[in-house]
Structure 1
């Protein structure tokens, strides 16, 4: 395993730009999915749609469940990005929140909002599966 170094100012600007771009895209997606979710809720509440007897597609209940799940995932990702931006602001970005060691540029390029080094992420994933 090679030694990871702390990020420099140019690196931090690069990752902040990536995170802000991702956050912008998420805000757009959240707006769209929110509108779709509102439409499904309105259709369910209006009583005009036959929720259980449409042989051609999913029920409104299934669609609402799917869309609300996507919405929750997008909100969680948005929160993770906000936390990464806060770490940039407070000077702790790029350091593993568990061990305090540098995360590594390659991991941050793949997952700019990563809060854990790859070793800690793998350990936690293994614990979840056990």
Structure 2
């Protein structure tokens, strides 16, 4: 076996890791959805004058920050789901650009990688 070929055990390890990452991201998404609901309710309160509160961030800042975090978590979930789909269809670990194998060390560092390190350097 060369350093670029994965064994069934390695594929199973990556699948388990991706499923764990997905569960963690789903947990964070639920937490931030709840937090967004709180900010949404606070923003709808016509008596709230947070723009003049010297003690903390404004609701607009909170909204912006939480919206960005939610977008990041949703993108992470999509990346993980695509990686799991590649495992299922047998294309996991194959570079989407050049068709060569993505090395196991690269996938260890970034299990959702779609490009080998050479192609990632070219497009990055």
TM > 0.5 between the two? yes
Stretch deviating more after TM superposition (51-60 or 27-36): 51-60
Is 2:79 aligned against 1:80? yes
Q: What is the distance in 1 between the residues matched to 2:3 and 2:98?
A: 13
Identify the residue that residue 52 of structure 1 maps to in structure 2.
Answer: 51
CA distance in structure 1 between the aligned counterparts of 2:33 and 2:121, rounded to whole angstroms? 33
For these two proteins, the number of residue pairs brought into alignment is: 123
User: Structure 1's 101 and 4: CA in aligned 2 closer, same or farther, altered over 3 A?
Assistant: farther
Aligned to 2:31: 32
The alignment's TM-score, normalised by the length of structure 1, stands at: 0.90
Mark the runs of 5 or more structure 2 residues left unpaired by the alignment. Answer: none
Shift of 1:51: 2.6
What is the alpha-carbon distance in structure 2 between the residues aligned to residue 50 and residue 77 of structure 1?
35
1:4 Cα deviation after fit: 4.7
CA root-mean-square deviation? 1.1
CA distance in 1, matches of 2:68, 2:83: 23
Are 1:118 and 2:111 an aligned pair? no
Residues 98-123 of structure 1 show CA distances to partners (whole Å, capped at 9, x for unaligned) of 11111101111111111111111121
Q: Which runs of 4+ in 1 moved over 4 A?
A: none
State the partner residue of 2:5.
Answer: 6
Partner of 1:89: 88
3-state SS in 1 of match to 2:112:
coil
